Amino acid sequence: MADQYDLIVLGSGPGGYVAAIRGAQLGLKTAIVERELLGGICLNWGCIPTKALLRSAEIYHYMQHASAYGLAAQGISADLDAVVKRSRGVAAQLNKGVTGLMKKNKIAVHMGEGKLTGKGKLSVTDKDGKTSELSAKHIIVATGARARDLPFAKTDGKRIWTYRHAMVPPEMPSKLLVIGSGAIGIEFASFYNDMGAEVTVVEMLDRIVPVEDSDVSAFLEKALKKQGMTIMTGAGVEKIEAGASGVKASIKGKDGKVVTGDFSHVIVAIGIVPNTETIGLETLGVKADRGFIQIDPYGRTNVDGIWAIGDCAPGPWLAHKASHEGVTAAEAIAQALGNKDVHPHPLDKANIPGCTYCHPQVASVGLTEAKAKEAGHEVKVGNFPFIGNGKAIALGEAEGFIKTVFDAKTGELLGAHMIGAEVTELIQGYTVGKQAELVETDFMNTVFPHPTLSEMMHESVLGAYGRALHI
């Protein structure tokens, strides 16, 4: 007999385990299936441990520049093995935390490979090859995604790395090539640059962090070059040859010329592939586009009883987006099962913030200035620099700016774009504002504490309407 549940979640990443918890909170008999580690890629091999690495690099950077703060530090060095060990310890601690949450919420955990075998049916094969059968009225697919390989250079963990290899490096790169300048590529470029590697970043598009506002891209490129990185935009890697002692890469520049460079290691950060090939979607006829499961704003697929969330569904491919989708789907399922007291809130992708934890940090929400104009908006734009903020100067972090984009007719906040110290924490203020549909006067009439970096958020709004006070 199959174990029977109201809800089964396939995958325990930040979307899956949150969906399971919310389902259990709503009284659903819930199970979760995980093939590797509870918490998924984000917690074990992504968001969290990378931030631990970046924190170590940040402190190392400050130690090297102690004199700027009136301090002296001699004999400074970095122990890469110890830095990685700390990062893995952080991941292990959080993995235990998710395990505890499953127990607390009485969620059944089935470790193994899960596969849809029929309507409301799922088989789980554990590491010993033993298969068990589960059944549920509703199944949420939350299988995530993996790094995309270059077709002509498969990652090997020795000289050619994905993000996963880069988190547990067998050795410190001396000369590193990073292919791709999205959040993952730029974060690892920043980490290894701070740790002492000579870093080159290659981006096919005409600017780095291409999803960000063009002003942010330009500022970040200038900052990274100042830190010693080589940045090549409008360029592509055409050939990689890995040997025992290094990598030879052929790079075609924006001028069409191909140059060959020698590197110790390469990180490939050119996107993701959804983990949907072997989970039985074809058995039920679930619609997918390039492997990404197609869903409505509540996570429903075209097949009754099958839902999908997170990186195996359309983007943006962000942990916090997955978690929000997980809550929405669990609530919609509870409602479908007769709970009249729950009212699921569909996800508005325009209000999802994005963060890149390089040095300096980058954060944004909503439309860029260019996208706002393309959409037909007449805009008012505010831009306030960190150098005009007392807290930023006191911190020794006076590089950066905060940019806001408003609809000139309605006062709606269309987008906010930041680069500088701690902007990944500041962006949520604008995200709440967008979710609450605040207009320019709401931000203007809000009292911001002094001295804080958040005052720049106020000043940027004031600046969009010609009222900035400190510039």
Q: What single-letter amino acid sits at 35?
A: R
- CA angle, corner 311, sides to 305 and 313, nearest 5? 45
**Spatial CA neighbour of 370 closest among 213, 234, 217, 218:** 213
Kindly report the three-state secondary structure assignment for every residue of the chain. CCEEEEEEEECCCCCHHHHHHHHHHCCCCEEEEECCCCCHHHHHHCHHHHHHHHHHHHHHHHHHCHHHHCCCCCCCCCCHHHHHHHHHHHHHHHHHHHHHHHHHCCCEEEECEEEEEECCEEEEECCCCCEEEEEEEEEEECCCEEECCECCECCCCCCEECHHHHHCCCCCCCEEEEECCCHHHHHHHHHHHHCCCEEEEEECCCCCCCCCCHHHHHHHHHHHHHCCCEEEECCEEEEEEECCCCEEEEEECCCCCEEEEEECEEEECCCEEECCCCCCHHHHCCCEECCEECCCCCCECCCCCEEECHHHCCCCCCHHHHHHHHHHHHHHHHHHCCCCCCCCCCCCHHHCCEEECCCCEEEEEECCHHHHHHCCCCEEEEEEEHHHCHHHHHHCCCCCEEEEEEECCCCEEEEEEEEECCHHHHHHHHHHHHHCCCEHHHHHCCCCCCCCCCHHHHHHHHHHCCCCCCC
Helix 214-226 × helix 183-194 angle, to 10° = 20
Six token digits for residue 10: 């396939």
Is 265 a known active-site residue? no
The greatest distance separating any two alpha carbons of the chain, rounded to the nearest whole angstrom, comes to 71
Identify the sign of the CA torsion 142, 147, 148, 153.
negative
Separation of alpha carbons 264 and 27, rounded Å? 54
Query: Of 138, 320, 417, 450, which one is the catalytic site residue?
Result: 450
Separation of alpha carbons 257 and 255, rounded Å? 6
Asked if 307 and 140 count as a contact pair (C-beta separation under 8 A), the reply is: yes
Catalytic residue numbers?
A: 450
